[in-house]
Structure 1
Amino acid sequence: MAEERAGAEPEPESGPGVDAGRSADKSGQGVVAAFGQSLKTLRTRAGMEREEFGKRLGYSASTIASFEQGRRIPPPRAIDRSDEILDAGGLLTVWKDQLEKAQYPAFFQGMAQLEKQAIELLAYDTLVVNGLLQTEGYTRALLNNRRPPLDVETIEQRVTARLARQEIFDRYPAPFLSFVMCESVLRRKFGGSQVWRGQLEQLLLVGQRRNVELQVMPLACEENTGVDGPFTVITREDGKRFVYAEAQGASVLETDPKPAVLAAARYGIIRSQALTPRESLAFIEKLLGEL
């Protein structure tokens, strides 16, 4: 879910269609498999068993097997450490950018790239809590609700990737982040009461950050300019804006200036119709007290 670059760099591609998305996903799987084979080859060349290598890296032998078999993507620090332990001379670290891209579904890869360059992010959500605000438990609950079911490795990969995106909150200089969510989002207790309690607490914590504004659009509100559904507007450091929207495993990343300007204006109206940030945090606190 909405759910990752400066001017001299290539523009992010628009969201792929279903067939293109599947091809990109297969390409990503190929990258992960190739990295795993390289890792295994270098480990074997170093005369190191999985148990020993895992112990030095801080993982179990079964996790190392998952890395080598392309079922899991190691985090960047684990890749750096593996390169050091195996004296690979950079043969593993050169995979980092490709692996980072491969950890996201094909339809989200352009957005994940933009999030890292954002100086402003405006997100309107109507179905679930925005990925940048989700707790681990809430993310797992959402992914476990997918049909057809996702395999365990894919769930672990996407949980890790989604949580990694939240580094945006600690970036310096801090980007401006604004989130407006429909009250209906706050009425769906994915994962049960305990998971939902943790998610509400997370929203309250994030909403108190100086560079974050969190607002709720009440169901009782008679006017809501967000009738066309969820969307995100991102502004890069070079001033260029992009609009992202997704549904049913497909997405559109609009790079044309006109739709981006209109979407930003629409978002401004939505913000004016929603509860203020102070009122919104009070509303969330009330929901928390009712659990």
Structure 2
Amino acid sequence: MTGWEAWLDDEEAGAVMRTVVRQLKLWREAAGLTQAEFGAAIGYGEELVSSVERGRRIPRPEYLDAADDALGAGGKISAMKKDVAEIRYPKTVRDLKKLEAEAVELAAYNNSVIHGLLQTPEYARAVFSARRPPFTADELDQRLSARVARQEIVSETAGRPLFSFVQCESTLRRPLGGRMVMRGQLERLLTVGGLPHVDLQVLPLSHEENPGLAGSFRLLRLRDGTTVGHLEVQHISRVIADPKEVQLLEMRYGAIRAQALSPRESLALIEKVLGET
């Protein structure tokens, strides 16, 4: 169950965990099973069962399915899988995922790394591994799983929201993870950039003007017509709702897009960099 430690300082996750734990314990005790007997019945050790029931370990979906079968719960325990899977991720990730789910249009500029929604798992692992102090193996796996889960929104079948990405050319040439990882990442950009609901642009290093020197940011236009911004720097993740601040970001993004290559020219540049990698 690596990577499924509970976020003990997260009130929302804690409330869900208390409900799940209470139900698991009630069902086990009603069946007259000790933790050791229950663990043997579902294929897990007593120590792990104890960690789950103390709220220190989030039960994986297969754990809940096995518990449902062993306790004859008729799907009542398995029904908790969706809620439990959501709290596996840190609150900042969950909040951002909710915003993305509400968005009808998402725009993002990145000048340090490839945008998270566009990253391959290998590239994302290289980004997380560069962190200092480093993440533990479990923390790295948690963040990688959270990032991959968020990428479902960009899939071809989703078709919503509309996406506009502008990447500084430097992010295409920074060899995070090594040559083969970057080749896979550039190929991923070409694939996503060809989707009908995605505009992918590159801001060339050869341009003298760069309105995005202040750093990466994103804009999300929500279903109710409002727009919010999001900034992430170092260990700080901030959602911006103040209309005046959002307007500044919108003006800045418009200037960045105007300086960037067109989507077709951008894909050609990515192909060129891929050929050089």
TM-score, scaled relative to structure 2? 0.79
Contact kept? 1:124, 1:231, Cα under 8 Å: yes
Of 175, 179, 191 in structure 2, the residue corresponding to residue 189 of structure 1 is 175
Instruction: Report the Cα offset of residue 144 of structure 1.
Output: 1.5
Instruction: Report the Cα offset of residue 110 of structure 1.
Output: 2.9
Aligned-partner SS, 1:243: strand
How many angstroms apart in 2 are the aligned matches of 1:186 and 1:254?
28
Q: Does 1:116 align with 2:105?
A: no
Q: Does 1:178 align with 2:161?
A: no
Question: What RMSD over aligned residues (CA atoms) do the two structures have, in Å?
Answer: 3.2
**Unaligned runs of at least 5 residues, structure 1:** 1-23, 55-60
Contact kept? 1:43, 1:49, Cα under 8 Å: no
Matches within 5 A, 1:31-180: 34=18, 37=21, 41=25, 44=28, 50=39, 53=42, 61=44, 65=48, 68=52, 70=56, 74=60, 81=65, 84-85=68-69, 86-88=71-73, 90=76, 93-94=79-80, 96-97=82-83, 100-104=86-90, 106-170=91-155, 172=158, 174-180=160-166
How many angstroms apart in 2 are the aligned matches of 1:269 and 1:51?
62
Instruction: Report the Cα offset of residue 186 of structure 1.
Output: 1.1
Aligned to 1:285: 271
How many angstroms apart in 1 are the aligned matches of 2:63 and 2:117?
24
Aligned to 2:3: none
Instruction: Report the Cα offset of residue 113 of structure 1.
Output: 1.8
Instruction: Report the Cα offset of residue 233 of structure 1.
Output: 0.4
Opposite residue 186 of structure 1, the aligned amino acid is: L
CA deviation string 1:148-194 (max 9, x = no partner): 12122221111111111111123645211000011111121111111
Q: Percent identity?
A: 41
Instruction: Report the Cα offset of residue 268 of structure 1.
Output: 1.3
How many angstroms apart in 2 are the aligned matches of 1:43 and 1:200?
50
Greater shift in the superposed pair: 166-175 or 256-265: 166-175
Greater shift in the superposed pair: 24-33 or 145-154: 24-33
Contact kept? 1:31, 1:102, Cα under 8 Å: no
**Alignment CA distance shift 1:140-1:265 (3 Å):** same
How many angstroms apart in 1 are the aligned matches of 2:113 and 2:59?
26
How many angstroms apart in 2 are the aligned matches of 1:35 and 1:192?
44
Contact kept? 2:229, 2:239, Cα under 8 Å: yes
* Higher RCO, Cα 8 Å, sep 6+: 1
Aligned-partner SS, 2:201: strand
**Alignment CA distance shift 1:280-1:145 (3 Å):** same
Aligned-partner SS, 1:244: strand
Opposite residue 277 of structure 1, the aligned amino acid is: P
Q: Which has the larger radius of gyration?
A: 2
Instruction: Report the Cα offset of residue 261 of structure 1.
Output: 2.4
Matched residues, number: 258
**Alignment CA distance shift 1:250-1:215 (3 Å):** same
Aligned to 1:207: 193
**Alignment CA distance shift 1:93-1:239 (3 Å):** same
How many angstroms apart in 2 are the aligned matches of 1:231 and 1:44?
48
**Alignment CA distance shift 1:194-1:241 (3 Å):** same
**Alignment CA distance shift 1:216-1:173 (3 Å):** closer
Contact kept? 1:83, 1:93, Cα under 8 Å: no
CA deviation string 1:233-267 (max 9, x = no partner): 00001111001101111022111122222312221
